[in-house]
Amino acid sequence: EVQLLESGGGLVQPGGSLRLSCAASGFTFSTYDMSWVRQAPGKGLEWVTGISGGDGSAYYADSVKGRFTISKDSSKDMLYLQMNTLRGDDTALYYCARGTYGLDVWGQGTTVTVSS
Amino acid sequence: DVVMTQSPLSLPVTLGQPASISCRSSQSLVYSDGNTYLNWFQQRPGQSPRRLIYKVSNRDSGVPDRFSGSGSGTDFTLKISRVEAEDVGIYYCMQATHWPRTFGQGTKVEIK
């Protein structure tokens, strides 16, 4: 069964950092693009970042560019999101999803709360 | 960034009746490879999003055939031929032709 399981969320102060993880299983992780998508409380979906399964090229939404970094470790079937200089508007449920063209599989999400 | 505009934002529907959601993009979604990367997602209350349709009109495995997608260029539509109770939720279009990827605001489907 294809699965994605996010972890690493929590409460962090403004200006702080957090690293999210996404464990993939049931498919050949190394060959797939991957994305992070977030959803602020009561709001819609926002694509945050994606990484190519081929050359590892990364792309970011303007709202996180320069603060967030996506990475993959194909030896561990893991996707990561390093989040620095966190702000209140980064508070959201963060999903990892398979793909950057289709987003056909989603995890259950991990919650990030940025507050003092 | 490509702006995706959905309408309506709220859609009350009678069980068994059809429903239609429009999604318009601020730029053409035709990619250089000839494909149009327009997806539709369903998010039921308390659940993760689920993809229903990819590349405008291709239904995902397990998606009931009452769901259909159509459109081209900048104008797209998701149709539900006969709404059932399990279709309640928020529907999002998402373009994956241009970087960064962008979602529509979402359309909330509820039963009258």
Could you please report the per-residue DSSP string of B22-79? EEEESS--B-TTS-B-EEEEEE-TTS--EEEEETTTEEPTT--TTEEEEEETTEEEEE
Tens digits of per-residue pLDDT, B44-71?
999 999 999 999 999 999 999 999 999 9
Identify the pLDDT of residue B18.
98
> How many contacts does A have with B, using Cβ atoms within 8 A?
56
Provide the residue count of chain A. Answer: 116
Identify the pLDDT of residue A37.
98
Is the CB of A109 inside 8 Å of chain B's CB atoms?
A: yes
Question: Quick check: bond before B8 cis, omega within 30?
Answer: yes
Rounded Cα–Cα distance for residues B68 and A75 (Å): 39
Task: Quote the percentage of chain B above a pLDDT of 90.
Answer: 100
Residue B13 pLDDT more than 90? yes
Tens digits of per-residue pLDDT, A24-56?
999 999 999 999 999 999 999 999 999 998 889
Rounded Cα–Cα distance for residues A88 and A69 (Å): 18
Is the CB of B13 inside 8 Å of chain A's CB atoms?
A: no
Identify the pLDDT of residue A54.
85
Tens digits of per-residue pLDDT, A48-64?
999 998 889 999 999 99
Please name the member of B50, B96, B106 whose beta carbon is closest to the beta carbon of A101: B96
